[in-house]
Amino acid sequence: MATASDEAKKKKQALGWIEWLRGWFYLIYEMLFQRIMASHLQNPMPLPPVNDLTCIVTGSTSGIGREIARQLAESGAHVIMAVRNPKVAHELIQKWQNEWSGMGLPLNIEVMELDLLSLDSVVRFANTWNARLGPLHVLINNAGIFSIGEPQKFSKDGYEEHMQVNHLAPALLSILLLPSLLKGSPSRIVNVNSVMHHVGFVDPGDMNVVSGKRKYTSLVGYSSSKLAQIMFSSVLHKRLPAEAGISVTCVSPGIVQTNVARDLPKIVQTGYKLIPYFIFNAQEGSRSSLFAATDPQVPEYCELLKSDDWPVCAFISYDCRPTNPSEEAHNVQTSYQVWEKTLEMIGIPLDAMERLIEGDEVSCRYGAQEGS
């Protein structure tokens, strides 16, 4: 018993060196071989009929999110660009409409303001959307930050910025939008994750990385936030009743353009500069998200994992095939601790998900109004 307890204690301090090495192996392997492994995919990826879908895409004015929003809209979906800068989004829509002119019906896209560095903004967004009383079929939590090489920063809510933007804010958004996702059932929550979660470690008692147990770097902040997202998503996936018809998946877009650079070991930096051929562009990086959002077999796969009591939610790789996240992501005990700590940090009660599924209202510490 003492040995198991000691091991659990050690586990909470950091990744074991074997896990850490394995994580870097996955990262380097993905960088070198992703293009070969995904060579069976078309680019752009052809989508099934999506004319009846309403999709919210966060962070959709640049990079992968921009490609996701554009391709969904061009395939006929009603797309809501949830962005920090509405002006840029409106300019993009105008450009897309002009390019699309004469090729079909005008694109059905709108813009709503959402700043993930403000949990008040997240609650306002969710309240505004839920007030429409319409269905939401797909929520794509794409927006994320990796402030490479920068010192530790905190949001006005008091949380480390990577943890807030990449995990806490999307978690709050996903929970608060459950009433609309229920109306759109069968519906999906797609979280754009990263292979870098393999080198991440989450201490539920030190989500802000301020205790001094670990030295903060932007890599620590980013990889920890991505692992926390998988852990939270896995518990959400398990706790959502099957009859709700809401699937939860995490996806890896692959190594896309320059989302990995100066904060990596020197040897990896050198390789990154020498092999631009191997790095995905944004359109290629969008394929796993589009697959998770539209492929008809994804909900069946999620249900299969749930019925088998699999410890993690569905994780779709950059080659649009199901894969396993890191060993640490399978740590069920830590995942439930992350779930509880996250709900505490985002200011909603532990039974918020169940109450929202039942049609009850839930109050949130942020937004100064009801959270449903």
Q: Which residues are catalytic?
A: 222
Burial profile 70-91: b = 16 or more Cβ within 10 angstroms, e = fewer: bbbbbbbbbbbbbbbeeeebbe
User: Residues 119, 366: contact at Cβ < 8 Å?
Assistant: yes
Helix axes 63-74, 287-294, angle to 10 degrees: 40
CB-count burial class (<10 Å; 0-12, 13-18, 19+) for 208? middle
Do the bridges between strand 138-141 and strand 246-251 make them parallel or antiparallel, or are there none, so unpaired? unpaired
User: Residues 96, 73: contact at Cβ < 8 Å?
Assistant: yes
| Identity at 283, one-letter amino acid code | Q
Helices (H) and strands (E) in the chain — how many of each?
15, 7
What tokens were used for 303? 């249900």
What tokens were used for 39? 């060579």
CA 196 to chain centre: 13
Gap between the Cα atoms of 25 and 128, Å rounded = 44
Q: Which of 39, 37, 64, 323 is nearest to 195 (CA)?
A: 323
CA 65 to chain centre: 11
Contacts of range 151-160, beta carbons closer than 8 Å, 24 or more positions apart: 152/209, 152/216, 152/221, 154/208, 155/117, 155/118, 156/117, 156/118, 157/117, 157/118, 157/119, 157/366, 158/208, 159/207, 159/208, 159/345, 160/207, 160/208, 160/209, 160/210, 160/216, 160/221, 160/225
User: Residues 228, 338: contact at Cβ < 8 Å?
Assistant: yes
